[in-house]
Structure formats: structure tokens, C-alpha cells
Amino acid sequence: MTGGTDYNDVLANADLIIKNAIAAAMPINAASEPLGTLFFKRSAVNYVLNSPLIVKPSFTGNPAMPSMIGEGVGAGIEISTDPNGPVTFQPSNSFPSGEYLLAYLPNTLSYSIKGAKIAGLAFFGQSPDGTNRGAGANFVNTRQFRITDLSTNFTVAPAPVLTTLGESASAALNISQSGSPGGFDYIDGCTSTKAGQDGIYFQSAESTMVACRVLAHTRIGYNINSFDMALFGCMIDSGGGSAGNPQIYIAQGGNDDTRIVGFNSFAGPLLGGPTVFVSSQAGDAQHPVFTASRFNGPQQAGLGDNGAIILLTGACDIDFIGCDFSALSAAQTTYFIRGRSDFTGKCRIIGGRFNRKNNAVTAVISTVGASGIIVCRDVGNFNPLGLLSTPYDNTNNWIGYLGGSSTLTSATVAASTFSQSCSRLPVQHVS
């Protein structure tokens, strides 16, 4: 396919030309290779679609699928204003609202599709009349896909009928492996901007995401309801449009784990909060781990539990290793780490630091439930006990938080039990 002089936004049935090219590139059966790759040329105008682009085999099985590659680089929010930016698709004024602009689908949810590369494409959800109609891009039961430099912008909340097989579809960049777990896709350099619902959603996915970003989402930024995911160097800016909707939501089951390294929350949620919400079903042994990441607290006051940077619920077991947590103010960030009344799991914060821009928050860490445990170890700026005004026990000869005097009166304590007393000083542990 080509853009520029071969295509413009008033050419009748232009999307039909693209769909015919997709059909011509499809494999003839599940055992054959794709018959072609679609290359799109960068143009001064967008590819305007009257209906969705659906890449779906007509036969059962697990076939390899044709790739779609755009000229140009990057997946930023500049759209056609960037002369070196990605090839851009846009819905027409008659495009069915809530459908995905692009959908890669297997024949049924019992099968998978594999092997395609999607690169250098932007999906702009707003039609020429200024109405948001397109939902973004949907990938279902994909295996060994490479999705790179793809962006979704100004999308509407998904309500797909044509571009779905019944999987969960909630995000502008929607990756669902619900019918075929273990897809092992590689997603890098992708951006979701002003998503009508979630920014990026993983359902039952086992894949790797690198250097992706979500900007100004409406509901959840990264919705991770997956198996074993790995995220490296991803980021998020402000967003979250209603109470309880976080920047990152993690809900896993079974023995599934997600590893998130170098995540950066440049600005906390504008509305709703919390920054990270972790949950699991009762009895699940999930164990997500954040490493070397940075989280900013919510930016709205009066949120209670939802004003926490990290909100914990259910039987989740999660680690934060070498992470920084930054509160904007006492009013806007009510907790650094908060276990809700139904939290029965364990959270470990190891290394890193708690940062307060202005005042101390209501409580640095807090858990309401009787069995949930939060453990802090070697965390900068964390003092679980506050000022010890009466640290000396001159009767039992030791020093610590159970002492009853503000003065040292026993020479025995001072001379012979100081080292013993130090061993009884409290560790940074809250349960």
C-alpha cells in the first residue's frame, strides 16, 4: 500500500483498497505462510477508514499472519504534524463508534494467530468532524507478535462488535490472550494518549513490554490482568477520571508473576487515585515485583484509601525493591502504603525511600485488616516510631521504644548494657 498521491482523505472507498490488500496477503491455510506484507507510505493526510481493518483468517488453526509496517519512525502524539512521524489511520464521520480501527483476530477464541510485525502506525480515534469514534487497536490470542512504535490517540471507550471475539476489551491498546495463554509477544516504543477508557490492557498475557508510555488516560493506565508479564522502562503521566481508578492495576491469579523494572510515574493521578492498586483472588499465590521504580502520589485531596500511593487488597503478595515513593502533600496523599480491610497478603518494601514534598502524610504505612502484613527494610526517610522521648528503662537496664524515662540515671545501663540494648531497638517492621 502507498500513501501520498495514491491516497487522500476524500478518496471514496479508500479503506476498501486496504482491506483488499489485507485479504490478498492472508495465508491460504493454517500451514502456509502469509502471501505478503503491507507497507504504508507516510502522507500529508491520514488514511480515513469507514469501517475497521480486521485481520482475521477465514479458517480454523493457528496460522502466521501478514505484517503491517508504516514508513516513518516513532509513535508520538504529533500525528501528521511530524513530517517524520508514523503513518496515521483515522475514522471517518460514519465510522461505527466504539469499534477498534485495527483488530488482529483468530478464527475463534480456541485458536491463536502468530508471527506478525506491526510497526510505525498511529491510530487516531477522532473523526474529521471532531468526534471521538475509534477505540484504538485490538490484538487477540497473538503469539510471537512484534508490536513496535504503535500509538493510539484520542480514542473512545471500546464497545466492539465487529472487532472482538468476546474477549475483554477495555483499552486503546488491547492485548488479550484469553483463549491462548502464553503468547510471548514483544511490545516496545508504544504510546497511548487520551484513551477513552484504559490506556493499555493485558488479559491472560505472557509477554514483554519495553519503553512504552500512557498519557492522560480516562480510567486505568496499565491494566495488568495477566499471567507472567515483564515491563521494562515504561512510564505514565497523570490521568484517572473517577474514584478508585489507579495508574496501574495488577490483578493476577494462580502462581502467575509480573516483573516491572524501571517504571516511572512522572505525575500522580489527577483524579481518583491510587497510583498503584494490587489485588488477587483468595488463595492465589501471585507475586508481582517492582524494582528500581518511581511513584508519585495522587493530586486530589480527600480520597481516603484511594489517596494512597500503593493500595493493597486481597491475598496479594508483592515486593517493591529499590523504589521511591513521593507524596505531593499531606492532604493529597493520605498514605504511602495502605492495606485495605480485606488485605490478607504480604507487602515488602526493601530499599528505596519515602519522599514528602511538604508535610508528613496521615500515615506512611497502614493496614486495616487483622492479617495483612507490610514490611519495610532499609527504606530512606522512614521512621516508624517517631521521636523516642522516653527511651530509657533504668530498672530493667535497656534502651528502646518501651523505655519509660527521658533521662539516663543508671550507670549500669550506660556502662554495661548499651550493646545489648541496641540489639533490642526496633526494626523497621509494621504488621
pLDDT by residue (tens digit) across 67-88?
999 886 655 544 444 555 678 8
pLDDT by residue (tens digit) across 45-56?
788 899 999 999
If you search the block for the grid coordinates 503469539, which residue do you land on?
143
- The answer on pLDDT for 2 being more than 50 is no
Q: What is the pLDDT of residue 323?
A: 96
Q: Confirm if 50 and 12 have CB atoms less than 8 A apart.
A: no
Q: How far is CA 129 from CA 46, 80, 92, 399, in A?
A: 14, 17, 8, 73
Query: What global pTM score does this model have?
Result: 0.85
Q: What is the pLDDT of residue 75?
A: 53
If you search the block for the grid coordinates 503513518, which residue do you land on?
87
Q: Which one has a higher pLDDT value, 77 or 391?
A: 391
Give how far the C-alpha of residue 406 lies from the chain's centroid of Cα atoms, to the nearest Å. Answer: 49
pLDDT by residue (tens digit) across 142-167?
999 999 999 999 999 999 999 999 89
Strand order in the sheet with 198-203: 53-55, 102-104, 137-140, 171-176, 198-203, 222-225, 248-252, 276-280, 308-314, 335-343, 363-367
What is the arithmetic mean of pLDDT over 100-129? 94
E runs forming strands in 253-382: 259-261, 264-265, 276-280, 289-291, 294-296, 308-314, 317-321, 324-327, 335-343, 346-350, 353-356, 363-367, 373-377
What is the arithmetic mean of pLDDT over 308-326? 91
The CATH code that applies to domain 4-390 is 2.160.20
Backbone torsion region of residue 274, taken as left when φ is above 0, otherwise alpha when ψ lies between -120 and 50, otherwise beta: beta
Per domain, the residue ranges of the chain are: 4-390, 392-422
Amino acid identity for residue 130 in this structure = G
Q: Report the C-alpha gap between 191 and 200 in whole angstroms.
A: 9
- The answer on pLDDT for 356 being more than 80 is no
Q: What is the pLDDT of residue 317?
A: 86
Average pLDDT for the chain? 81
pLDDT by residue (tens digit) across 282-311?
555 568 899 999 998 887 777 788 888 999
Q: What is the pLDDT of residue 123?
A: 93
